[in-house]
């Protein structure tokens, strides 16, 4: 399914399904209980989003204080933000997905699944990762000569400093480390 199909599914099909479920709930439970359910999940979701958001914020601060990269805290923060947005959207499916992103066990499960799919897409070449070097623009990269086994930087480029030796970790990645003295 292409991007246009995914967007159509997200913005047309999902709301129609949500509306059908809400109408059926209204028919079975009645109008007042259905409206109350919508309001309670919205309010409960807002409270849970705030609590989880604060927990993630403190996790982020703790990682920074310990001089660690707060990667998991950032991923949790994005998950909590998206989960909160789903919870303020009326509907049963969005509520289930929102609560799943807010509760830590299900959030970790979803993150593991997404991470493995992303890693697979990077490995098979569906997604290309571009890194930036401080002080250079997007896609500036390095100039130099290459063959299938090595890369030699031109003088004046990062990595061309004396005392560094390139080390290839994979087909598409080269790391420069200072030589041991």
Q: What is the pLDDT of residues 77-88, one digit of tens each?
A: 999 999 999 988
Could you give the angle at the alpha carbon of 45 between the alpha carbons of 40 and 47, nearest 5°? 100
pLDDT value at residue 162: 55
pLDDT value at residue 88: 85
As a whole number, mean pLDDT of residues 5-22 equals: 88
The span from the CA of 119 to the CA of 126, in Å, is: 10
Q: 95-134: per-residue pLDDT in tens?
A: 999 999 999 999 999 999 999 998 898 888 888 777 666 6
pLDDT value at residue 150: 52
pLDDT value at residue 135: 58
Domain residue limits, the chain: 40-123
pLDDT value at residue 11: 83
pLDDT value at residue 127: 80
As a whole number, mean pLDDT of residues 27-36 equals: 94
Q: Which residues of 13-47 are buried (b: 16+ CB within 10 A; e: fewer)?
A: ebeeebeeebeebbeeeeeeebeebbeebbeebee
What is the rounded average pLDDT for all residues in the chain? 80
How far from each other are the two terminal CA atoms of the chain, in whole angstroms? 55
123 vs 163: which has the higher pLDDT: 123
pLDDT value at residue 175: 59
pLDDT value at residue 77: 94
As a whole number, mean pLDDT of residues 37-63 equals: 92
pLDDT value at residue 122: 85
What is this structure's pTM? 0.65
């Amino acid at each position: 399914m292409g991007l246009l199909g995914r967007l159509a599914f997200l913005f047309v099909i999902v709301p129609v399904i949500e509306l059908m479920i809400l109408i059926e709930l209204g028919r079975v439970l009645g109008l007042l209980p259905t409206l109350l359910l919508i309001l309670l999940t919205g309010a409960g979701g807002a409270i849970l989003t705030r609590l989880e958001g604060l927990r993630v914020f403190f996790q982020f601060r703790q990682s920074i204080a310990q001089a660690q990269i707060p990667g998991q805290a950032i991923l949790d923060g994005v998950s909590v933000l998206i989960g909160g947005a789903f919870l303020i959207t009326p509907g049963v499916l969005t509520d289930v997905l929102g609560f799943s992103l807010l509760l830590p066990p299900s959030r970790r499960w979803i993150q593991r699944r997404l991470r493995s799919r992303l890693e697979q897409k990077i490995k098979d070449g569906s997604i290309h990762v571009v890194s930036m070097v401080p002080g250079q623009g997007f896609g500036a990269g390095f100039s130099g000569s290459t063959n299938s086994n090595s890369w030699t930087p031109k003088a004046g480029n990062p990595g061309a400093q004396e005392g560094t030796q390139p080390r290839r970790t994979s087909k598409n990645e080269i790391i420069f480390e200072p030589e041991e003295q």
